[in-house]
Amino acid sequence: MSISSLNIQRVLLDLGYESISNKTSVIFSNVIDQVFFGFGSTIQNGLITEAKKQMLPKNFKFPYYSLVEKSVLDFLGPRAGEKILSEINVELSRQTKIEGTSEEILNELSRKEVHNKIRHLAGHEHIIYLWSDKNIRNQILKEILENSKGPKATFSTEEPLFSNIPNITYSELFSEKNSAVKKSFEIISNCNTKNDEHPSVIIGFDGTKWFESGLQSEFLQLEQYANEYFSENRDIGICAYDLNKIPDQETLTSFVKCHAIVILDNPFVIYERGN
């Protein structure tokens, strides 16, 4: 867990997005309550006080294990703290029937929540996926493409995941920069014209390639227009961005605002814009 991950979620909360990865949070909260209660009210209250020093917003629901770990170790020290952390791991494993470290268990629970969400995409969705791991990105986007029964199109940095899906690489797209936006929307619109029973799926594997090509402002305009397009058409647009290449919080905010759904993979969590 990095500080940047926390900052991203604070930005999302400030923009009115809400976490829908709540099952994992509930399980983790129940485990912590049970373990803390078992060590008596004095330690329980002390740990809660220590946790409040993390200064997280009240509606910050996602369970960062590392924050709990820090609170426990800061309050009790390494020896006693490790005992409580061990109890948390045992109880978490018992309740979930998953083996591994506490972080591994929580990550697996959250991953399942994300995958369950993407399996039930129904159309009219414009999603930004802020990825930090290329392999995880490919797994998630591959699953979306495999589960989709409608027309598909992809924008990729390399060879497409499926040879039978229409694809354009970013290098091809930017061979004539002046027409990149027009060409992109033609691909999206063409995919929509084939749409009948099932929604179309259009995926961009790395939107930061537009930044590298000096087309950041043009791409922002395209994203703003696409947001209206996907809300009006029964299509699914997924715009993946390499999180490590987004230059600053202002850029992050401007592009996030173009999407109703946000997916993160470190940790796995989904946010939706509130009504």
Alpha-carbon distance of 19 to 35, in angstroms, equals 25
What are the pLDDT digits (tens) for 155-165?
998 776 677 88
- Taking the CB of residue 219, how many other CB atoms lie within 10 A of it? 23
pLDDT band at 1 (very low <50, low <70, confident <90, very high): very low
Sheet holding 17-19, edge to edge: 17-19, 268-273, 261-265, 125-131, 235-242, 200-204, 152-156, 167-169
Return the pLDDT at 105: 92
Average pLDDT over residues 31-51: 70
Question: How do strand 268-273 and strand 17-19 relate by DSSP bridges?
Answer: antiparallel
For residue 5, pLDDT over 70 is answered with no
Asked whether residue 59 carries a pLDDT value surpassing 60, the answer given is: no
Average pLDDT over residues 63-88: 81
pLDDT per residue as tens digits for the range 125-173 = 999 999 999 999 998 999 899 888 889 999 998 776 677 888 999 999 9
Strand 152-156 to 200-204 pairing = parallel
For 121-273, CATH number out of 3.40.50.1820, 3.90.1170.50, 3.50.50.60, 3.40.50.300 equals: 3.40.50.300
Query: Phi and psi dihedrals of 128, rounded to 5?
Result: -105, 130
Q: What is the pTM of this model?
A: 0.83
Mean of the pLDDT values across residues 107-134? 89
Sorted by where each begins, the domain ranges of the chain are: 18-113, 121-273
Residue 215 main-chain phi, psi, to 5 deg: -120, 30
Helix axes 249-256, 3-14, angle to 10 degrees: 50
Segment 217-248, tens digit of pLDDT: 999 999 999 999 998 888 999 999 999 899 88
Query: How many Å from the N-terminal Cα to the C-terminal Cα in the chain?
Result: 29
Q: How far apart are CA 39 and CA 26, in angstroms?
A: 20
- Kindly give, in sequence order, each residue whose CB lies less than 8 Å from that of residue 100, ignoring residues fewer than 6 positions away: 93, 108
